[in-house]
Amino acid sequence: MQQFIDTHPDAENIQISLIRKATIAKRISVTRSFSQRIIQLSRKAIMRANPKLNERELILTFIAYHYGSELANRLREYIDRKTL
């Protein structure tokens, strides 16, 4: 059964086969690489949309988008308490 509408079924079958044949270390490495790239792209998009944010606000905005405003607010409060 085809999983992705933007990938030819033959190409998808090859990709799945390669993933199945890969070692656990290789799978983890690829997953880590994808995750790092996605984080980079997300941060760049946030920076483009909010060019005046400082690093702290960029991080908090990233957290709000990906993990929720409640967590971002709690982290903001924690940082504020630690910097007093």
Domain identity same for 61 and 42: no
Residue 2 inside a domain? The answer is: no
Range of the domain at 39: 7-49
Instruction: Give 8-28 pLDDT, tens digit per residue.
Output: 889 999 988 999 999 999 999
Residue 1 clears pLDDT 70, i.e. is over it: no
The answer to whether residue 45 sits within a structural domain is yes
User: How would you classify residue 42: left for phi > 0, otherwise alpha for psi between -120 and 50, otherwise beta?
Assistant: alpha
Separation of alpha carbons 16 and 64, rounded Å: 33
Q: What is the mean pLDDT of the segment spanning 61-73?
A: 97
Q: Are residues 34 and 56 in the same domain?
A: no
